[in-house]
């Protein structure tokens, strides 16, 4: 990433969780070979273009803890992208 050969994206926000990070609902469930993530992110810069997605997800339903960060490769099974949001002034 530092050499510029890889593009990353930071996936914190969700439709119901902006400033209120504790409201994140994306869930991470342990599997035999890692974790399975289920949920929706919103407003993610580089979405659909990044090589990997640093993604915040819950490993516990306790709002005060259990928020973890996962590195999700762009070719992960089930990863899909919606249409980009139309913004008023930011077009880069």
Ligand X SMILES: Cc1cc2nc3c(=O)[nH]c(=O)nc-3n(C[C@H](O)[C@H](O)[C@H](O)COP(=O)(O)OP(=O)(O)OC[C@H]3O[C@@H](n4cnc5c(N)ncnc54)[C@H](O)[C@@H]3O)c2cc1C
* Residues of span 68-87 touching ligand X by CB under 6 A: 87
Q: β-strand 8-11 against 67-73: which pairing, if any?
A: unpaired
Count of residues that bind ligand X according to CB under 6 A:
12
- Nearest CB to ligand X, comparing residues 2 and 92: 92
Name the strand (E) or helix (H) holding 67.
Answer: strand 67-73
> 């993604």: which residue's tokens?
55
Nearest to 8 by CA among 75, 73, 56, 82: 73
Query: Based on CB atoms, which residue is closest to ligand X, 86 or 87?
Result: 87
Our finding on whether 54 is near ligand X (CB under 6 A) is no
CB of 8 to ligand X, least distance (A): 10
């Amino acid at each position: 990433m530092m050499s510029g050969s890889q593009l990353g994206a930071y996936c914190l926000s969700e439709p119901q969780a902006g400033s209120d990070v504790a409201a994140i609902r994306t869930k991470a469930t342990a599997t035999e070979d890692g974790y399975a993530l289920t949920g929706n992110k919103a407003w993610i810069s580089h979405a659909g273009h990044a090589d990997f997605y640093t993604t915040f997800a819950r490993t516990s339903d306790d709002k005060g803890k259990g928020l973890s960060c996962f590195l999700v490769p762009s070719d992960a099974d089930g990863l899909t992208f919606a249409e980009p949001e139309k913004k008023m002034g930011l077009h880069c």
